[in-house]
């Protein structure tokens, strides 16, 4: 009988496989080890570079740097928040840095803060000492510029075209002085290498100007209105104007207000901003001014002769112009009368408007009375009720008799024609006010 024995090669097969697997794992570990070592070396080199950079910056020497796979961790204490932000910004600029973790603390120790502050103060003091010659030269330049600006602004050819407007001439002189001084200041800043301050100064000036503009808006608006009114003068001295609710004669224009004297002799000061924006009526710009008044006549009268009489009477009054000639129009047919409106023109340079109109009304009324032209009063029919209930009384048709016309006066007592010449009662007040202070009005200036 034949017996089969096991194969010895099968016993060693699993062992061989195990040995091959172990060998492969060891080879892989041997390959990975150099890569890990390389990363660690790069982190160390990066940390050294960052630390060396911090060593060259005042105040960053105490900062400790740790790097792990490109992540930089900063620790330690600095004396100010500015140094802390500077350390973070500087550390993030190195190549290979993925992120910067901030573990820095700002020191509150008095000793740590006094030392750097004293060093900075000493450094700035030395800078000022070294710059003293330039500062002295700059001050001398500014003084010379101020002297030159004053001399230049007083030259006659400055504002020669604005002789008739002293207010605008003064503004031009101030602008000349300002331009010279600003140019000198820019030159001095460039001499001291402080031109970087110009932008900051201009920005601060812009903000300040905006704030001042809002705070003093009314004053600035009034000042600008004064300039515009002085350039384009809408009125002259002694012009009769109606501005807003105020009627009066213009006495003077100042840098803040327009001064009027009312017919009653009162002084009215109106802010120039209000004058510039308000509706204005100038009664004196055109020397010819028209007046008018209404008169009622009987409805049964023939109107054309009545109109002709009114025109003839008004045309004969001293002060009423012949061209344009007076005229009379029928304006309205009322319940008890016809309303006529009489027009006439007055030369205000020689005659008083109010006096001429008053004389015209008086003479037309007297002429109508002499011509028996009835100027009826309004008539009302009153119905009186009887005291008894339900009883009605008849209308009272009795009309009160017309008042008896006064008897003719003696020749010596006959009223004379009123004086219609211009009589300016407030002229002395106008002269006193015009001579009392600044006046931007000029009769020779260009008018609006």
| Residue 241 shares a structural domain with residue 262 | yes
Per the model's pLDDT, the better-predicted residue between 108 and 356 turns out to be: 356
pTM: 0.51
pLDDT at 393 over 80: no
Per the model's pLDDT, the better-predicted residue between 316 and 230 turns out to be: 316
User: pLDDT value at position 410?
Assistant: 42
Query: Residue 412: pLDDT band by 50, 70, 90 thresholds?
Result: very low
pLDDT at 401 over 70: no
Answer whether residue 221 is part of any domain.
no
Contacts of 53 (CB under 8 A, 6+ apart): 90, 94
% pLDDT > 70, the chain: 72
Answer whether residue 281 is part of any domain.
yes
pLDDT at 434 over 60: no
| Residue 205 shares a structural domain with residue 246 | no
3-state DSSP of 107-171:
CCCHHHHHHHHHHHHHHHHHHHHHCHHHHHHHHHHHHHHHHHHHHHHCCCCCCHHHCCCHHHHHH
| Residue 293 shares a structural domain with residue 379 | yes
| Residue 303 shares a structural domain with residue 378 | yes
Question: What pLDDT digit, counting tens, does each position of 30-89 carry?
Answer: 444 455 566 788 888 888 888 888 888 877 888 888 888 888 888 888 877 888 888 888
User: pLDDT value at position 238?
Assistant: 83
Question: What pLDDT digit, counting tens, does each position of 94-145 carry?
Answer: 888 888 888 888 877 666 667 777 777 788 788 777 778 888 888 898 899 8
Count of the separate structural domains present in the chain: 4
Least confident of 6-10, 166-170, 341-345, 360-364: 6-10
pLDDT at 268 over 70: yes
Beta-strand pair 280-282/240-243: antiparallel
Least confident of 214-218, 260-264, 411-415, 423-427: 411-415
Asked whether 275 and 225 are in contact (CB, 8 A), the reply is yes
Answer whether residue 398 is part of any domain.
no
Answer whether residue 250 is part of any domain.
yes
Asked whether 119 and 91 are in contact (CB, 8 A), the reply is no
Per the model's pLDDT, the better-predicted residue between 52 and 17 turns out to be: 52
| Residue 281 shares a structural domain with residue 292 | no
Instruction: Show which of 384, 412, 433 is a domain's final residue.
Output: 384
| Residue 208 shares a structural domain with residue 170 | yes
User: pLDDT value at position 293?
Assistant: 95
For the chain, give the mean pLDDT.
77
| Residue 25 shares a structural domain with residue 173 | no
pLDDT at 304 over 80: yes
Query: Residue 27: pLDDT band by 50, 70, 90 thresholds?
Result: very low
Per the model's pLDDT, the better-predicted residue between 316 and 60 turns out to be: 316
Cα separation of 68 and 108, whole Å? 30
Query: Residue 312: pLDDT band by 50, 70, 90 thresholds?
Result: very high
Phi, psi dihedrals of residue 305, rounded to the nearest 5°: -60, -35
3-state DSSP of 253-266:
ECCCEEEEECCCCC
Phi, psi dihedrals of residue 193, rounded to the nearest 5°: 55, 45
DSSP class per residue in 195-207:
THHHHHHHHHHHH
Query: Residue 413: pLDDT band by 50, 70, 90 thresholds?
Result: very low
pLDDT at 357 over 90: yes
Answer whether residue 334 is part of any domain.
yes
User: pLDDT value at position 188?
Assistant: 84
Please give the average per-residue pLDDT across 375-384, as a whole number: 75
- Supply the CATH number for residue 43's domain: 3.30.1340.30
Answer whether residue 348 is part of any domain.
yes
| Residue 32 shares a structural domain with residue 76 | yes
Per the model's pLDDT, the better-predicted residue between 116 and 315 turns out to be: 315
Asked whether 356 and 346 are in contact (CB, 8 A), the reply is yes
Instruction: Show which of 57, 88, 106 is a domain's final residue.
Output: 106
- Supply the CATH number for residue 259's domain: 2.30.30.60
| Residue 204 shares a structural domain with residue 167 | yes
Answer whether residue 55 is part of any domain.
yes
Please give the average per-residue pLDDT across 245-250, as a whole number: 89
| Residue 62 shares a structural domain with residue 50 | yes
| Residue 307 shares a structural domain with residue 279 | no
Answer whether residue 396 is part of any domain.
no
Helix (H), strand (E) counts: the chain: 11, 11
pLDDT at 431 over 50: yes
User: pLDDT value at position 13?
Assistant: 63
User: pLDDT value at position 283?
Assistant: 87
DSSP class per residue in 288-339:
EEEEEEEEEE-TTS-HHHHHHHHHHHHHTSTTB-SSSPPEEEEEEE-SS-EE
User: pLDDT value at position 292?
Assistant: 95
Asked whether 315 and 324 are in contact (CB, 8 A), the reply is no
Highest mean pLDDT among 20-29, 250-259, 288-297, 430-439: 288-297
Query: Residue 19: pLDDT band by 50, 70, 90 thresholds?
Result: low
Cβ-count burial 117-139 (b if 16+ within 10 Å, e if not): eeeeeeeeeeeeeeeeeeeeebe
- Supply the CATH number for residue 376's domain: 3.30.70.100
| Residue 101 shares a structural domain with residue 24 | yes
Q: What's the domain range around 306?
A: 288-384
- The structure tokens listed for 334 are 């009322």
Question: What pLDDT digit, counting tens, does each position of 141-185 carry?
Answer: 889 989 988 888 777 776 666 666 666 777 788 888 888 888 888
């Amino acid at each position: 009988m034949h017996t089969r024995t096991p194969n010895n090669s099968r016993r060693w097969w699993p062992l061989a496989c195990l040995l091959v697997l172990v060998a492969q794992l060891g080879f892989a570990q041997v390959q990975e080890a150099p890569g890990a070592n390389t990363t660690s070396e790069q982190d160390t080199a990066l940390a050294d570079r960052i630390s060396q950079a911090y060593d060259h910056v005042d105040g960053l020497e105490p900062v400790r740097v740790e790097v792990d796979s490109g992540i930089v961790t900063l620790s330690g204490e600095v004396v100010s928040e500015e140094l802390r932000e500077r350390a973070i910004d500087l550390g993030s600029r190195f190549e290979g840095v993925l992120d910067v973790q901030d573990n820095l603390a700002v020191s509150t120790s008095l000793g740590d803060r006094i030392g750097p502050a004293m060093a900075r103060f000493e450094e700035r003091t030395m800078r000022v000492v070294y710059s003293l010659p330039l500062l002295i030269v700059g001050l001398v330049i500014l003084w010379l510029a101020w002297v030159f600006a004053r001399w230049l602004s007083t030259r006659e050819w400055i504002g020669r075209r604005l002789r008739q407007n002293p207010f605008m001439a003064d503004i031009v002189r101030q602008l000349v002085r300002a331009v010279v001084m600003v140019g000198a200041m820019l030159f001095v800043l460039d001499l001291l290498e402080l031109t970087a301050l110009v932008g900051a100064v201009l920005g601060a000036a812009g903000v300040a100007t905006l704030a001042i503009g809002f705070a003093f808006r009314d004053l600035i608006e009034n000042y600008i209105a004064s300039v515009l009114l002085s350039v384009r003068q809408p009125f002259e001295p002694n012009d009769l104007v109606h501005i807003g609710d105020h009627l009066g004669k213009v006495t003077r224009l100042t840098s803040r207000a327009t001064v009027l004297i009312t017919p009653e002799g009162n002084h009215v000061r109106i802010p120039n901003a209000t004058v510039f924006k308000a509706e204005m009526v100038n009664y004196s710009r055109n020397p010819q001014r028209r007046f008018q008044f209404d008169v009622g006549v009987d409805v049964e009268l023939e109107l054309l002769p009545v109109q002709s009489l009114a025109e003839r009477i008004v045309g004969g009054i001293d002060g009423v112009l012949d061209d344009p000639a007076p005229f009379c129009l029928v304006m309205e047919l009322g319940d008890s009368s016809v309303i006529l409106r009489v027009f006439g023109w007055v030369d205000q340079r020689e005659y008083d408007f109010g006096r001429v109109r008053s004389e015209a009304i008086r003479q037309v009324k007297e002429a109508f009375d002499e011509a028996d032209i009835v100027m009826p009063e309004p008539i009302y029919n009153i119905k009186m009720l009887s005291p008894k209930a339900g009883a009605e009384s008849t209308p009272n048709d009795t009309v009160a008799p017309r008042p008896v016309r006064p008897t003719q006066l003696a020749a010596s007592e006959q009223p004379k024609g009123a004086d219609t010449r211009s009589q300016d009662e407030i002229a002395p007040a106008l002269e006193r006010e015009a001579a009392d202070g600044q006046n931007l009005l000029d009769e020779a200036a260009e008018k609006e």
